[in-house]
A and B are shown apart, each in its own frame.
Chain A
Amino acid sequence: MAQESYMTGAMTTACAPSTTLARSARRWLGTALPLAPGLAIVFGFVLLPCLWLVWLSVLNDAGQFGTENYQRIVEQVSYRRIFLTTFSVSLQTVACCLVLGVPLATFITSLPDRTRALFIACILFPLWTSLLVRAYAWLVILQRNGLVNSWLLQAGLIDEPLPLAFNTFATVLGMTHIMLPVFLLPVIGAMRGIDRGLMRAAASMGASRGHAYRTVFLPLALPGILAGASLTFVMSLGFYVTPAILGGGNVQVISMRIARSLSTYSNFGAAAAIGVVLLLTTFAMLGVSLLLRKLLLRR
């Protein structure tokens, strides 16, 4: 969209007689041309399909305009449960990332360069490993005759296997494993940017370690923490593979419902309508986090 306006802008200025204008027009064209193909692919194969979903969602079974698909979402209890499950699983994932990630990021930030690079390599490693490999690994660890259960049984700590896999616990654990690196990177970035002198100043003025951490360090790291947390939450809302495998059908999230509406029931309208709700929720959450960030940075 933006690129089109530059194209037309370039066209109109190119017609102007001034040579400086012609030169700047050439420059605009030089900008628009390299941008165009990438934007076209993203527009054509991601944004356009999503707009199509919006269109399909407002058509009823007879192919006419109607809000039936949305009415069903509002009225049926099963939809409400799926939305609640999705939100709850996502919030739990964010909570785990905050509880584990903020202290970990603080520690990693305090390390000397070489050691920190080693830790960051460990954080990057899971990012490069396929989601499926990781879901599989957690199944191996958590299932009925998996590692944890067989070790606990051998040690005589339990008499029968604990139900660790195929539930919310396994889903949140798997999602935390996936989102923690994504959460850590912006947080570590923000913490690295904090002026160390401020903490020394706090110390010299008699603040205790905990007090200085709470009142100086954390508020300065807050924009980064907020960015990481909102990214984690927004991405968690759309998870499909991890809940499907580690939840084992016991954890129904929005994405799974969309897939089922389409592949099992061939109900395009319903799939599209839930999809639009998911899309709007995603954008609303992003908007809220941007707004919060603005407020924080202004203060």
Chain B
Amino acid sequence: MLDGFGQNRLLAAFGWAFALAMMVFLVAPSLIVVPMSFSASDFLEFPPRELSLRWYFSFWESAAWLRAARASLVIGVLTVALALPLGTLAAYGTRDLPPRAQVAVGAVLLMPAIIPSILVAIGLFFLLARMDLIGTYTGVVLGHTALAIPVVYVIMTAAFADFDRNLERAAESLGASRWMIWRSVIIPNIKGALFAGGLLAFVTSLDEVVVAMFITSGSNATLPKVMFSALRDHIDPTVAAISTMLITVAVGAVIALLRGERRRRTT
């Protein structure tokens, strides 16, 4: 960026050292959990002296952890099923609004990302209590959908900005129905963004703690909720095993996204 000033070896070396140290700071802490999850000892040690899968077994043999994992998966999938179409349609509809209205609609749709989640959580608690939906899948899924819509909306707005609307007009002039235009023109063109949006909506739901803490209970308590109480009360190494599995999911998602992007660029 500072070109025009020639090379300064010392400054460049310092820049690299600092930047690499920061990357270690950002990435290493989460990765340290991975080897520790294979430790055989009762407490956490790094590097582990003896390897074992005991903390993975402790997860797979615990009815409580498995129930939480299942609840998280079901809620995550249902959240994607709702938030992805709704966020996409909202982004699609916003395009035709006059600029001022676009800003207003965008502001409302981004609210859930700005309002502190504790407020959404207790507000939802009051609302769902009134509707008798506390501790139900319906309640959490609706809450998580509201939180995931902004994420999908942002991604899909960017995707529609790149989308050539003449394709849509051409299909329309050839007599295609709304449904056909979506199926054969719009969706194939925004496939990559739909995938990314769906993935992000899923991760948003899978990682959400605070709302789940207040409006789920017992049988539909999500994985983060159970992890949170396990961490607050004592440090259970099972959490290391679960964390490792969650990191694997995150890394897998990022790789899938990057691959999708590369494929889109090459074709």
What is the interface of chain A, defined by CB distance below 8 A to chain B? 1-3, 6, 27-28, 30-35, 37-39, 41-50, 52-53, 56, 100, 103-104, 106-110, 119, 121-126, 128-141, 143, 145-147, 150, 177, 180-181, 191, 194, 196, 199-204, 209, 212-213, 217, 234, 237-238, 240-241, 244-245, 255, 258-259, 262-263, 268, 271-272, 275, 278-279, 282, 286
B118 at the A interface (CB under 8 A): yes
21 A-B residue pairs with Cβ-Cβ distance under 8 Å, sorted by A, are: A1-B104, A34-B93, A42-B109, A42-B111, A42-B150, A45-B143, A46-B111, A46-B120, A46-B147, A52-B126, A121-B258, A122-B23, A122-B26, A130-B207, A132-B227, A147-B32, A209-B8, A240-B118, A262-B122, A275-B118, A275-B123
On whether the beta carbons of A31 and B30 are closer than 8 Å, the reply is: no
Could you say which residues of chain A place their CB within 8 Å of the CB of B96? 27-28, 30-31
Nearest CB of chain B from residue A97's CB, rounded to whole Å? 11
A-B interface pairs (CB < 8 A), number: 274
Known: A39-B108, A134-B30. A125 touches B254 (CB 8 A): yes
Q: Which DSSP category, helix, strand, loop or mixed, fits chain A's interface?
A: helix
B132 at the A interface (CB under 8 A): no
B206 at the A interface (CB under 8 A): yes
CA distance A101 to B258 in the complex (A): 24
On whether the beta carbons of A136 and B122 are closer than 8 Å, the reply is: no
What is the interface of chain B, defined by CB distance below 8 A to chain A? 1-5, 8, 11, 15-16, 18-19, 22-23, 25-27, 29-30, 32-33, 36, 43-46, 82, 86-87, 89-90, 92-94, 96-97, 101, 104-105, 108-109, 111-112, 114-120, 122-127, 142-143, 145-147, 149-150, 153, 203, 206-207, 209-210, 213-214, 224, 227-228, 231-232, 235, 239-240, 243, 246-247, 250-251, 253-254, 258
Known: A38-B90, A137-B30, A147-B32. 4 other contacts (CB 8 A): A125-B27, A128-B203, A132-B207, A143-B235
CA distance A193 to B17 in the complex (A): 25
Could you say which residues of chain B place their CB within 8 Å of the CB of A134? 29-30
On whether the beta carbons of A119 and B19 are closer than 8 Å, the reply is: yes
CA distance A238 to B97 in the complex (A): 32
Closest Cβ neighbor of A50 among chain B residues: B123
Nearest CB of chain A from residue B126's CB, rounded to whole Å? 5
CA distance A286 to B110 in the complex (A): 13
On whether the beta carbons of B90 and A104 are closer than 8 Å, the reply is: no
Known: A140-B32, A203-B5. A132 touches B118 (CB 8 A): no
On whether the beta carbons of B126 and A145 are closer than 8 Å, the reply is: no
On whether the beta carbons of A238 and B231 are closer than 8 Å, the reply is: no
Known: A238-B118, A240-B210. A33 touches B93 (CB 8 A): yes
On whether the beta carbons of B126 and A268 are closer than 8 Å, the reply is: yes
Known: A131-B209, A241-B228, A275-B122. A2 touches B101 (CB 8 A): yes
Known: A45-B142, A122-B26. A38 touches B122 (CB 8 A): no
Closest Cβ neighbor of B153 among chain A residues: A38
Nearest CB of chain B from residue A214's CB, rounded to whole Å? 12
Could you say which residues of chain A place their CB within 8 Å of the CB of B250? 125, 128-130
Closest Cβ neighbor of B237 among chain A residues: A140
Could you say which residues of chain B place their CB within 8 Å of the CB of A125? 26-27, 30, 250-251, 254
